[in-house]
């Protein structure tokens, strides 16, 4: 198996240009690898105090675009959350294909002086778990404990050893094409909001691509 790429995100650290650069650099490395391997995200820590004091909308926009690039990479992404997980750590955790958490982990939507942080973590939480089941976390910042996160589908499994989750993800993706995985991921994203008539074309295009790949393999 190819070397596993690892991104570590500490939610205790305020969002900065350096944080964004870390994500962009790991994306560069992942894309240069082509069609193999997995990327792991180690997500831990949650912001405290006046953590939004140095932020501006431009920086937040760059962060969200970096996360969007991360979740579209042509390889599987597995994230493991440890302890309290909020801020940038929660953002990166929710961008993964496979999400595990160690026992005792809590997912936290960040709070500032006026309310919860209205970033895209709230959007992703609702996409995964639904409005009714996630509203207290998004509106009031109530922690989502590990067992509840598992029940809501925000976490795929609770583990004692993060390496177990990484090994399981490697097993899931063994023999699969990273580029094809990225296509299926996008179809999955679109399914929640795209009408059937609009979704049919991209699905047929993906089927045609899969058939052509299979034909090339059969004749090689």
pLDDT of residue 125: 95
Q: Is residue 183 domain-shared with residue 168, that is, in the same domain?
A: no
Q: What is the mean pLDDT of residues 146-173?
A: 88
CA 11, CA 195: separation in Å to the nearest integer?
Answer: 36
Q: Is residue 147 domain-shared with residue 41, that is, in the same domain?
A: yes
Q: Is residue 165 domain-shared with residue 134, that is, in the same domain?
A: yes
pLDDT, tens digit, 9 for 90 and up, residues 136-155: 999 999 999 999 999 999 99
Query: Which range of residues forms the domain containing residue 32?
Result: 5-173
Q: Is the pTM of this model over 0.75?
A: yes
Q: Is residue 153 domain-shared with residue 207, that is, in the same domain?
A: no
Q: What is the mean pLDDT of residues 197-202?
A: 89
- CA-nearest of 127, 126, 129, 105 to 116 is 126
109 neighbors 138 (Cβ within 8 angstroms): yes
CA angle 84/39/192 to nearest 5° reads 75
Which is it for the CA torsion 118, 119, 121, 124, positive or negative? positive
Q: Is residue 94 domain-shared with residue 183, that is, in the same domain?
A: no
Residue 187 clears pLDDT 90, i.e. is over it: no
Q: Is residue 152 domain-shared with residue 215, that is, in the same domain?
A: no
What 3-state class would DSSP assign to 214? helix
Q: What is the mean pLDDT of residues 172-180?
A: 78
Which is it for the CA torsion 92, 98, 103, 109, positive or negative? positive
């Amino acid at each position: 198996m190819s070397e596993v790429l690892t991104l570590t995100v500490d939610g205790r650290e305020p969002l900065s240009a350096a944080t964004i650069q870390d994500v962009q650099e790991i994306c560069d490395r992942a894309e240069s690898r082509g069609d193999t391997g997995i990327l792991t995200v180690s997500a831990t820590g949650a912001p405290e105090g006046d953590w939004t004091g140095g932020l501006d909308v431009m920086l937040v926009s760059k962060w969200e675009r970096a996360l969007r690039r991360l979740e579209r990479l042509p390889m599987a992404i597995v994230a493991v959350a440890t302890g309290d997980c909020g801020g940038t750590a929660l953002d990166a955790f929710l961008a993964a294909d496979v999400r595990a958490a160690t026992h005792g982990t809590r997912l936290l939507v960040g709070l500032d002086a006026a309310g919860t942080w209205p970033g895209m973590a709230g959007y992703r939480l609702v996409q995964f778990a639904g409005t009714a089941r996630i509203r207290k976390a998004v509106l009031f910042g109530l922690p989502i404990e590990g067992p509840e996160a598992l029940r809501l589908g925000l976490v795929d499994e609770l583990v004692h050893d993060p390496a177990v989750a990484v090994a399981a993800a490697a097993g899931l993706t063994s023999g699969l094409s990273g580029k094809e995985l990225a296509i299926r991921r996008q179809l999955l994203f679109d399914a929640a909001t795209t009408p059937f008539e609009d979704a049919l074309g991209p699905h047929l295009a993906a089927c045609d691509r899969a058939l052509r790949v299979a034909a090339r393999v059969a004749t090689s």
